[in-house]
Structure 1
């Protein structure tokens, strides 16, 4: 019986044919590939996203003119009607400020609360206080260093408070307030590094953010060094920690914020340049007059200098790391303070 069943099973299988399965394979050249990320060394980790390496001498350095600059607009001689001087902001009910979110001590997001904090964030709130009577009526927008001028030109923000150095070239692109902070440019290195200044930089890699004046300084003071250009100073710190960069070149308030995050780093070398940070607004054009906004920002800068707020903010954020002789001098054009615009009289 078992033999009969076995023969029947064999016959059944012989009379049946299994379907042929055809697999469609994607040609190798059509397979999606992940975008390549640049690496600093053949066996090193990938560089921060959006970064690039500039070889020595690849770009000619451009002069950074921080001395032959035009002064800002003076505040109005008396209290203005803000609905006449900054109507678009008053109608909106908030001021939109472009800042960073990763510059420790200056403008960064607190890891516990998620709130933006720092010297520049506090200054933005003081500007809102003087406009609306409420320091919280601010919309903060993250703006990358390389996009600061375009964010103003496209009216994505009302003002930029993001370590923007006043230069003659930039004054052709944006309208600056009087400075709120003065700085010196130096180097940040690992504590066990042999670097003590720019003399040790040839053949090494210097990290800066793209679009910053530090990029031009690196080309000027480190012409024999590779330059790692990143999107943020936080990326530079990561590159330094991973031995993808040997030094970070920037202004001392920025370097102090970086050093506060890593006790194994230190600021070294002589000052390479003295600069000033100012609030930036779009230049006035036929579509939008920003003169009233610049004058209003300068009124706040004068007020925080006079009532001690500037010192309170500096002591909170920088006193442990940086000495200072006080707020920078006011820089205005040779003009008398104008009277604010008067409302138009209604026709009888």
Structure 2
């Protein structure tokens, strides 16, 4: 993936500062920008692997959109910051390598919170509940995970979808790809016969092409969270949590959610 920054302008709030509970010191005092330890002053620099619709997408005008990135833009507005999106590889992001290197302030890339990832990452409060799923051609003869023996199945490297396939797709030939941008064309070209990954992403493909269908969904009790380098930017993580709660309380979160998921 290339690493190109794109700036989004975040409107200045009417209030000069945002009071966030649970910040450093345990009182209701607002967090000053300097205390957030931003990579670039005045800007929220966020790493994400694009594309991964409907969570991360290019908007056709040189910028980015999607559920995660719209939510990031709303958080930045609450914190009176601009946003710079860095397009990075997911494997380096989920392993903590990218964040430890100081490339960005945090990662927003449909990342499931897991105990394994918590050894290298800190997470903000969960912001999305997800399922895994199996996508195939409608005429494939595949009706579920039990039909995958001996078949090539696309999985994204370093993801919980890959883990689920390793544990449950008995006899399948798992083919690793960097992301959905490579898996979807591979399925269309017949290089693989199925994709096992997050349900919302597979649903986007069904919407785009009726020759494909989701034949099974798997409840894995997954929740997505924004990822931070372990032990770093604690004030920023708490500020993000406070902004997320404000968005939920005001109904703005629901508006962003319905934009992408109301048809599901």
Query: TM-score, normalised on structure 1?
Result: 0.65
What's the offset of the Cα at 1:274?
Answer: 2.3
1:276 aligns with 2:223: yes
- C-alpha distance after superposition, 1:190-223 (max 9, x if no partner): 1222112111111111101111111111111113
1:129 aligns with 2:73: no
Unaligned runs of 5+ in 2: 1-20
1:143 aligns with 2:143: no
Residue 16 of structure 2: aligned partner = none
1:169 aligns with 2:116: yes
Unaligned runs of 5+ in 1: 1-73, 323-348
Q: 1: distance between equivalents of 2:221 and 2:142?
A: 21
- C-alpha distance after superposition, 1:40-89 (max 9, x if no partner): xxxxxxxxxxxxxxxxxxxxxxxxxxxxxxxxxx8435242323531435
Residue 66 of structure 2: aligned partner = 118
1:181/1:276 contact within 8 Å kept:
yes
Structure 1 segment 210-249 matched on structure 2, within 5 A: 210-249=157-196
Q: Could you say what the CA RMSD is over the residues aligned between the two structures, in angstroms? A: 1.7
What's the offset of the Cα at 1:231?
Answer: 1.1
2:91/2:158 contact within 8 Å kept:
yes
Q: Which of 204, 209, 212 is equivalent to 2:151? A: 204
Q: Which of 273, 287, 290 is equivalent to 2:233? A: 290
Closer, same or farther in 2 for the Cα pair 1:230/1:206, shift >3 Å? same
Q: 2: distance between equivalents of 1:94 and 1:83?
A: 10
Query: TM-score, normalised on structure 2?
Result: 0.85
Closer, same or farther in 2 for the Cα pair 1:310/1:281, shift >3 Å? same
1:234/1:258 contact within 8 Å kept:
no
Structure 1 segment 2-81 matched on structure 2, within 5 A: 75-76=22-23, 77-81=27-31
Q: Which of 67, 76, 100 is equivalent to 1:153? A: 100
2:37/2:236 contact within 8 Å kept:
no
Q: 1: distance between equivalents of 2:101 and 2:241?
A: 23
Q: 2: distance between equivalents of 1:268 and 1:308?
A: 33
Q: 2: distance between equivalents of 1:248 and 1:316?
A: 25
1:205/1:228 contact within 8 Å kept:
yes
2:31/2:235 contact within 8 Å kept:
no
Say how many residue pairs are matched. 239
Closer, same or farther in 2 for the Cα pair 1:104/1:83, shift >3 Å? closer
